[in-house]
Structure 1
Amino acid sequence: MKVIQKENYIIIEGNNDDLGGLATLISQEHKEIQKDNVVIDILAKEDLKEKDLLVFLEISNLHRLQKKSFVIAAREMSFDNIPEELIVVPSLREAEDIINMEELERELEH
C-alpha cells in the first residue's frame, strides 16, 4: 500500500494487493486518514468484478460519516450492481473532480 499526498486528498495505491487485504489495511489505519479525502487507486488491477469492490463498502460508509470523500478509481466496468454508497470512477482525474464537487457541497451546507 502506497499513500500519495495531494492538495486536498490522498491517493492510496493498491498495487496488485489482494483487495480484501487492502481494505483491512485501510480499516486498521483509518485513524490516520479519517481527516483526509481518500482515493483508492486500483486502476492497475485487472479482471475486477463489481462484487470485488464490496470489500470497501464498510470503510467507505465509515469515512463518509466523517464528512470526507471516499472514491475508488477502477478500470471501467459495469457500475449497475455497485451500491450507491460506493463511488467508483474510471480515472484519477474523475476521482479528483468528485472530491472537489463534494467539498463544495459540504461548504454550501454550512
Structure 2
Amino acid sequence: MKVEQKGHTVIIKNTQGDIASFLEKVTTEYNSYKEHNIILDLSQDSAIDLPRILTFLSLSNKHRKAKKSFVLVASDLDFNDVPDEMVVVPTLLEAHDIIEMEEIERDLGF
C-alpha cells in the first residue's frame, strides 16, 4: 500500500494485488484519512471486477456521508454496472477532476 497526499486528497495505491487485504488495511487505517478526500487506485489490478469493487461500498458510503469525496480508479471495468452511489473512474486524472467538481458543488451548497 502506497499513500500519497496532495492538498486535501489522499491517494492510496494498492501495491499488494490482493483486494481483500487492501480493503482491510484501508479500513483499519481509515481514521488517519477520514478528514481528506480519498482516491483508491486499483488500476494495477488486472483481476478487478464488479464484485471486488462492491466490497468498498460501505466504506464509500461512510466517507461520502461525512461530506468528503471517495473515488475508486479501476481500468477494464464496465462502468455502467457500477451502482450510482459509488464513483469509479478509469484514470487518476479523472478521479482528481471528480473531486474538484464535488468540492465546488459542496462549496455552492448542492
Q: Distance in 2 between matches of 1:106 and 1:24?
A: 29
**Residue 17 (structure 2) aligns with:** 17
**Residue 48 (structure 2) aligns with:** 48
**Residue 93 (structure 2) aligns with:** 93
Q: Distance in 1 between matches of 2:12 and 2:29?
A: 11
The residue matched to 2:80 in structure 1 has which SS? coil
Q: Distance in 2 between matches of 1:66 and 1:17?
A: 28
Is the contact made by 1:43 and 1:73 (CA closer than 8 Å) also made in structure 2? Answer: yes
Stretch deviating more after TM superposition (14-23 or 60-69): 14-23
The residue matched to 1:80 in structure 2 has which SS? helix
- State TM-score, norm by structure 1: 0.93
**Residue 103 (structure 1) aligns with:** 103
Deviation at 1:17, TM superposition (A): 2.9
Deviation at 1:25, TM superposition (A): 1.2
Stretch deviating more after TM superposition (79-88 or 67-76): 79-88
Q: Distance in 2 between matches of 1:44 and 1:27?
A: 20
Query: Is 1:80 matched with 2:85?
Result: no
Matches within 5 A, 1:60-79: 60-79=60-79
Deviation at 1:81, TM superposition (A): 2.1
Gaps of 5+ in 1: none
Is the contact made by 2:46 and 2:76 (CA closer than 8 Å) also made in structure 1? Answer: no
Q: Distance in 1 between matches of 2:32 and 2:38?
A: 11
Gaps of 5+ in 2: none
Kindly tell me the number of residue pairs found equivalent between the two proteins: 110
Is the contact made by 1:42 and 1:74 (CA closer than 8 Å) also made in structure 2? Answer: yes
Structure 1 stretches of 4+ with a deviation exceeding 6 A read: none
Is the contact made by 2:16 and 2:22 (CA closer than 8 Å) also made in structure 1? Answer: no
Is the contact made by 1:73 and 1:92 (CA closer than 8 Å) also made in structure 2? Answer: yes
